[in-house]
Amino acid sequence: MEALKGKVTPKDWMAVGAVVAAVVAILALYFFFVHKNQITKLDELTAQITTIQTDLREAHKKEQNIAALREEAAAIETLVADFERRLPEQREIPTLVRQFEQMANDVGLSHALKPESPIRDERKETIPYSITTYGTFHQTTSFINRLERFERFLKVSNLKIEEEKDAVSKATFTLSTYRFLAPTTKPASPPAQTASAAAPQPGGAS
């Protein structure tokens, strides 16, 4: 109002300029110290959020992979358990031999069973039998089908069936079953003697 009346003095203009300068200074201080600091914190929070989101995505992927691996491991364990269940123990071998012979008798097949030398490797023992049968082709195939459907794991190999003559055909094959071997641990080596302990001591008894 004083400016409109023409009564503003240079001193008043200086006061106004000082107030404006103070406001500008305050705004500058706010920008450089408060606003800039807030922008820096905002950038840091944005970077942290981005990192957390990335970690969450990676964790989600790992969780999905772990779930898939657990399902695969469970399936493998089930398969191994079923496979081990179908493998006979050593004490069951004589019973299996009697069952083989009973299956041959059930189909009316004359047979001869000869045990062969077991074959071992690091993980399993193969127990083979040489089998010779005499009967019709139908009897032979029925016997082999029974062996392959048997509850224990059996393998028929080297099968040879001769031409049938007078309703009799000779067949030879190898029947193998398997047994897992428990891993053996090597005995610990005795500690080496030191040179002083190994060396003879003077002054022994005569």
Q: Is 159 within a domain?
A: yes
Residues of the chain with pLDDT under 50: 194-206
- What's the domain range around 28? 1-85
Quote the pLDDT of residue 171: 93
Contacts of 113 (CB under 8 A, 6+ apart): 97, 100, 101, 129, 130, 131
Cα(23)–Cα(14) distance, rounded to whole angstroms?
Answer: 14
64 and 111 part of one domain: no
Q: Is 205 within a domain?
A: no
Quote the pLDDT of residue 135: 92
CB 159 within 8 A of CB 181: no
Beta pairing, strands 119-120 & 154-161: unpaired
pTM greater than the 0.85 cutoff:
no
Of 85, 115, 148, the residue that ends a domain is 85
Based on the number of CB atoms within 10 Å of its own CB, is 56 exposed (0-12), middle (13-18) or buried (19 or more)? exposed
Q: Is 19 within a domain?
A: yes
124 and 151 part of one domain: yes
Hunting for tokens 């079923």 — which residue is that? 82
28 and 1 part of one domain: yes
28 and 10 part of one domain: yes
Q: Is 189 within a domain?
A: no
CB 87 within 8 A of CB 179: yes
Quote the pLDDT of residue 170: 92
Q: Is 164 within a domain?
A: yes
Overall number of domains in the chain: 2
